[in-house]
Structure 1
Amino acid sequence: MEDWILYDDTEKTSTRYVGYAGNHGRFDLAITTTAHFYGKTLVTLIQTGRTAILNQDEATDIAYLMHAFHVTKEDEATELSEFLTSNLL
């Protein structure tokens, strides 16, 4: 079977590393701004290595954040959502 490269792009990105503790949990994040994902931001939860590509609407979706980042408590996901919605471009 032949391998097919679907894309191979190089670009300069900006990554912000943020660690914060809320009332219900601590999060260490890498927030990468890139043009590659059509205006969405690449967010990595450093503790688990889980990554999601988010826009503002997705950052407000508590159930999606719980699934994407394997956050088990809704109050932690709510804090994460509040942080992301105020810190994504």
Structure 2
Amino acid sequence: MNLFEKLYDENENAKVRFVGFTTEQARYDFGIVFTNLFFGKPLVVCMQTGRSTLLDPKDLEDKAYLQKVFKMDTHHQAEDLSEFFKIALPSPSFETQYE
């Protein structure tokens, strides 16, 4: 009996960047996985909490989303994180995955 229908099973040598930094309010430790999957959006993992999300430049404008996904106490922390990721994340060139 086949319980699962496999949607994808990819192996990839991905580039990973680990970065830690501090602001006036907090310390951050992130792993950023650059992959060709997921429309080129990097996978960002908070090394302190294990929370992760796919981020692109549009996502960085939504400070409430960043605050929610990374469980931040203040909106100011989300603003700081947004500014950091604007520098750290490349602007992806989107290609249509489905035709």
Gaps of 5+ in 2: 91-99
SS at match of 1:43: strand
TM-score (norm 1): 0.93
8 Å Cα contact 1:60-1:85 kept in structure 2: no
Gaps of 5+ in 1: none
Identity %: 36
Per-residue deviation at 1:39?
1.6
Q: What is the aligned partner in structure 1 of residue 26 from structure 2?
A: 25
Written as runs of structure 1 = structure 2, the 5 A alignment for 1:8-87 is 8-87=9-88
Listed one character per residue, the Cα deviations across residues 15-68 of structure 1 (whole Å, up to 9, x for unaligned) are 100000011211100011000111211100110000010101102210010111
8 Å Cα contact 1:56-1:85 kept in structure 2: yes
* Amino acid corresponding to residue 42 of structure 2 in structure 1: T
Q: What is the aligned partner in structure 1 of residue 94 from structure 2?
A: none
* Amino acid corresponding to residue 42 of structure 1 in structure 2: L
Considering fraction of residues, name the structure with more strand.
1
Q: CA separation in 2, counterparts of 1:24 and 1:72?
A: 10
Count of aligned pairs between the two proteins:
89
* Amino acid corresponding to residue 79 of structure 1 in structure 2: D
* Amino acid corresponding to residue 7 of structure 1 in structure 2: Y
